[in-house]
């Protein structure tokens, strides 16, 4: 959610901090700030954009921290913006997470003056007190985090103290090993132009960064954290000539899908190899696969559930990660929990996975982020390999998640001996043809723009589909409401007559998915129902053998059960161009964050 950046090195820190915060803007924020430190502390923070910060000119300090805030405790105000300082004005703190025992800790500091409504400020005051007991900033921060309940990624600096102290628990924080200094950041995006060598802090770690190096401590003991080389390049995280990251990432889907299957499909043996450690005996004995996720990843799980049950003849369930509990009547040794998270840091998904592990259930993480908490903590990790996704509204990662789950379903079915050879061969072929089909949809970008602008004034938008198209309808509605702020609902087409039809009017466009894998003949009956009420219909249907009287129609090539996934591209473009026609801040929609790292 919030974005953290820190730098200590040989060069002026302010330009690096500002550039880093701008790279983190995609995470969503309402205020921003920077703290620079040498023998004194200088803090600039305010509501608004990073570019609007009233920063000092010619700042030469070579150490500092920065922050973009997404409000949780306290409204968006200058006072509530980070960094937060202590009474003396010598300690500055940036924080992502929630201090659960904030009220209790604040009550222990009656002599301190608090200037904000945030939970974070208490950390600065606690560090101030600890520095009266120890001359070591790392030891002071370590003592403070031992008293904190909840989640945190922290960056702390203090006037007259060397470097930055960082700490994490249940909130992501990465350190970057640079040539002219060292960095902390919420993710690798702001580090790519400076270094690709990073280490991921683990829960309970406290790190001390100086110009000359990085030391990490855990439970008071020095530890080594592996250095990873990031494969993304800096250009992959840029707009590349597109007006918005979201549009760029929609158009990157063919390449993302090729990356997702690269080296994993053997067309000769007609098998997939995902390099997982799930044994044949475990999969043979499996009673249930539980998929847990949030938002777009939840919709990908709904698609994956149907693939698993269709191909592998295994019971699959999908639950919102925030609602997940380990129910009674399940044998942990015969259950697999699959957590799907683009960032690998989604707090609710991590909570669900940890709950499952505590009961002895095996876990698999499906994520886009190497080194993420999901990847590290799960028994197995399946990377979707989509490349960096900067836009808050997920696009290419949804497609890559579904494709990854499709390959997983084939693998499970094959190992269990349940894979029908014809169905398996067809799906493998369709997976390889999917990038080309997506490109065909992208080639009609301009047509979709014209349709979106024509219907952008709709009072509400309804998305319908059956079976494999139902998750796509849900995802299409989510995309539109996320970035256009219009009311949009997605539901199974058959549910129209059970309530939603009362809302259908001439001013409510209906977007219908009528492809293979979506029981199109039945959905056409629902289309006629809304047309009889005057609603305009935008249909995405199979190119082969479909006919219909729609206001607008788009086709997808023959892809079997993956046709709804190709149809989703039209819904993404539609949402994008509706929002663009209304001049919405598409890459940073209000109130939303890219990575939700608090529960």
Q: Measured between alpha carbons, how far is 382 from 397 in angstroms, rounded to an integer?
A: 13
Which has the higher per-residue pLDDT, 551 or 347? 347
335 & 426 share domain: yes
Q: What number of other Cβ atoms are within 10 A of residue 212's Cβ?
A: 12
Q: Measured between alpha carbons, how far is 330 from 348 in angstroms, rounded to an integer?
A: 21
* pLDDT at residue 425 greater than cutoff 80: yes
Domain assignment of residue 571, yes or no? yes
134 & 19 share domain: yes
- Residue 20's pLDDT is 95
Beta-strand ranges (E) seen in 38-76 are 41-47, 63-69
User: Mean per-residue pLDDT for 426-430?
Assistant: 93
State how far the alpha carbon of 186 is from the alpha carbons of 23, 233, 284, 519, in Å.
11, 17, 40, 44
Lowest mean pLDDT among 1-15, 110-124, 242-256, 519-533: 519-533
| Residues 20-77 pLDDT 10s | 999 888 777 889 999 999 999 999 999 999 999 999 988 999 999 999 997 777 788 9
CATH number of the domain at 301, please. Answer: 3.40.50.10490
Domain assignment of residue 170, yes or no? yes
- Residue 538's pLDDT is 94
245 & 386 share domain: yes
- Containing structural domain, residue 505: 445-581
Domain assignment of residue 12, yes or no? yes
Which has the higher per-residue pLDDT, 231 or 262? 262
Q: How confident is the model at residue 212 (pLDDT cuts 50, 70, 90)?
A: very high
Q: How confident is the model at residue 576 (pLDDT cuts 50, 70, 90)?
A: very high
DSSP 51: G
Q: Measured between alpha carbons, how far is 68 from 63 in angstroms, rounded to an integer?
A: 18
* pLDDT at residue 137 greater than cutoff 90: yes
* pLDDT at residue 187 greater than cutoff 60: yes
| Residues 525-564 pLDDT 10s | 888 888 889 999 999 999 875 556 778 889 999 999 999 9
Radius of gyration of the chain (CA): 25
- Residue 234's pLDDT is 63
Q: Measured between alpha carbons, how far is 548 from 563 in angstroms, rounded to an integer?
A: 18
218 & 288 share domain: no
12 & 54 share domain: yes
Domain assignment of residue 462, yes or no? yes
139 & 277 share domain: no
User: Mean per-residue pLDDT for 463-482?
Assistant: 96
Which has the higher per-residue pLDDT, 525 or 362? 362
- Residue 545's pLDDT is 53
- Residue 240's pLDDT is 75
For the entire predicted model, the pTM comes to 0.81
CATH number of the domain at 182, please. Answer: 3.60.20.10
Domain assignment of residue 244, yes or no? yes
555 & 470 share domain: yes
**Are 275 and 382 contacting, i.e. CB atoms less than 8 angstroms apart?**
no
State how far the alpha carbon of 247 is from the alpha carbons of 274, 342, 405, 484, 565, in Å.
30, 18, 24, 14, 17
Pairing of strands 510-514, 461-465: parallel
Beta-strand ranges (E) seen in 120-256 are 150-158, 164-169, 174-177, 181-185, 197-200, 205-209, 214-218, 221-223, 228-229
User: Mean per-residue pLDDT for 154-166?
Assistant: 96
470 & 537 share domain: yes
479 & 573 share domain: yes
- Residue 390's pLDDT is 87
User: Mean per-residue pLDDT for 476-484?
Assistant: 97
Share of the chain above pLDDT 70, in %: 97
Of 211, 236, 261, the residue that ends a domain is: 236
Domain assignment of residue 324, yes or no? yes
Of 413, 442, 471, the residue that ends a domain is: 442
| Residues 319-337 pLDDT 10s | 999 999 987 778 899 999 9
140 & 31 share domain: yes
- Residue 113's pLDDT is 94
Q: Which of 401, 382, 367 is nearest to 568 (CA)?
A: 401
**Are 159 and 90 contacting, i.e. CB atoms less than 8 angstroms apart?**
yes
User: Mean per-residue pLDDT for 471-492?
Assistant: 96
Domain assignment of residue 587, yes or no? no
How is residue 74 written in tokens?
A: 């306290």
549 & 515 share domain: yes
User: Mean per-residue pLDDT for 435-457?
Assistant: 95
Q: Measured between alpha carbons, how far is 136 from 53 in angstroms, rounded to an integer?
A: 32
Lowest mean pLDDT among 255-264, 267-276, 409-418, 443-452: 267-276
Q: Measured between alpha carbons, how far is 4 from 2 in angstroms, rounded to an integer?
A: 7
- Say which residue the tokens 């919709």 belong to: 299
Q: What number of other Cβ atoms are within 10 A of residue 214's Cβ?
A: 22
**Catalytic positions, written as ranges:** 2, 594
Up-side HSE of residue 206: CA atoms within 13 Å toward CB? 19
Q: Which of 228, 474, 251, 179 is nearest to 375 (CA)?
A: 228
- Residue 562's pLDDT is 96
Considering the chain, what is the average pLDDT of its residues?
92
Bond prior to 549 in cis (omega within 30° of 0): no
Q: Measured between alpha carbons, how far is 146 from 286 in angstroms, rounded to an integer?
A: 40
User: Mean per-residue pLDDT for 86-112?
Assistant: 93
Helices (H) and strands (E) counted in the chain, each on its own, are 16, 27
| Residues 374-385 pLDDT 10s | 999 999 999 999
Q: Which of 447, 393, 296 is nearest to 590 (CA)?
A: 393
Of 415, 442, 469, the residue that ends a domain is: 442
Domain assignment of residue 593, yes or no? no
Specify the number of domains making up the chain: 3
**Are 65 and 94 contacting, i.e. CB atoms less than 8 angstroms apart?**
yes
State how far the alpha carbon of 313 is from the alpha carbons of 187, 428, 467, 517, in Å.
39, 18, 16, 17
User: Mean per-residue pLDDT for 573-598?
Assistant: 87
DSSP 457: T
232 & 249 share domain: no
């Amino acid at each position: 959610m919030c974005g953290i950046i820190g730098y200590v090195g040989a060069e002026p820190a302010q330009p690096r901090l500002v550039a880093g915060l701008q790279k983190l803007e995609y995470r969503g924020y309402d205020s921003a700030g920077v703290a620079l430190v040498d023998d004194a502390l200088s803090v600039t923070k305010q509501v608004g954009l990073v570019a609007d910060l009233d920063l000092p000119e010619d700042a030469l300090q070579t150490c500092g921290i920065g922050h973009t805030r997404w409000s949780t405790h306290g409204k968006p105000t200058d006072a509530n913006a980070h960094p937060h300082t202590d009474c003396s004005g010598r300690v500055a703190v940036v924080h992502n997470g929630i201090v659960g025992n904030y009220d209790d800790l604040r009550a222990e500091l009656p002599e301190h003056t608090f200037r904000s409504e945030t939970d974070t400020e208490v950390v600065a005051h606690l560090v101030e007190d600890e520095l009266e007991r120890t001359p070591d900033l790392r030891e002071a921060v370590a003592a403070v985090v031992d008293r904190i309940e909840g989640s945190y990624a922290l960056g702390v600096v203090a006037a007259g103290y060397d470097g930055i102290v960082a700490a994490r628990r249940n909130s992501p924080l990465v350190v970057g090993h640079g040539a002219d200094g060292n960095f902390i950041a919420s993710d690798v995006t702001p580090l790519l132009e400076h270094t690709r060598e990073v280490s991921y802090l683990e829960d309970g770690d406290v790190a001390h960064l100086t110009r000359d190096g990085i030391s990490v401590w855990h439970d008071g003991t020095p530890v080594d954290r592996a250095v990873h080389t990031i494969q993304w390049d800096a250009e992959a995280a840029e707009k590349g000539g597109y007006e918005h990251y979201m549009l760029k990432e929609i158009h990157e889907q063919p390449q993302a899908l090729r990356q997702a299957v690269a080296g994993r499909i053997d067309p000769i043996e007609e098998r997939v190899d995902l390099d997982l450690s799930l044994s044949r005996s475990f999969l043979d004995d499996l009673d249930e696969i539980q998929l847990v996720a949030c938002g777009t990843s939840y919709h990908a799980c709904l698609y994956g559930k149907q693939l698993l049950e269709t191909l592998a003849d295994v019971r699959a369930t999908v639950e919102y990660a925030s609602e997940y509990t380990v129910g009674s009547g399940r044998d942990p040794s015969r259950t697999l929990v699959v957590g799907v998270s683009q960032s690998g840091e989604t707090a609710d998904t991590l909570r669900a996975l940890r709950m499952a592990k505590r009961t002895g259930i095996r876990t698999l993480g499906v994520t886009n982020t190497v080194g993420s908490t999901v990847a590290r903590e799960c028994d197995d990790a399946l990377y979707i390999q989509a490349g960096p996704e900067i836009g808050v509204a997920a696009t290419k990662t949804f497609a890559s998640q579904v494709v990854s789950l499709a390959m997983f379903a084939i693998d499970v079915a094959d190992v269990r001996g349940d894979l029908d050879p014809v169905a398996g061969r067809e799906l493998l072929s369709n997976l390889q043809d999917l990038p080309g089909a997506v490109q065909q949809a992208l080639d009609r970008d301009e047509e979709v723009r014209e349709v979106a602008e024509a219907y952008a004034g709709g009072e509400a938008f309804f998305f319908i589909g059956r079976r494999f198209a139902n998750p796509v309808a849900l995802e299409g509605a989510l995309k539109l409401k996320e970035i256009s702020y219009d009311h949009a609902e997605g539901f199974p087409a058959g549910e129209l007559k059970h309530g939603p039809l009362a809302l259908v009017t001439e001013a409510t466009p209906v977007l219908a998915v009528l492809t293979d894998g979506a029981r199109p003949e039945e959905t056409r009956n629902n289309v006629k129902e809304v047309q009889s009420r005057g609603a305009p219909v935008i249909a995405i249907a199979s190119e082969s053998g479909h006919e219909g009287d729609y206001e607008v129609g788009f086709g997808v090539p023959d892809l079997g059960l993956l046709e709804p996934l190709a149809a989703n591209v039209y819904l993404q473009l539609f949402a994008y161009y509706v929002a663009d026609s209304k001049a919405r801040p598409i890459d940073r929609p209000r109130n939303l964050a890219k990575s939700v790292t608090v529960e």
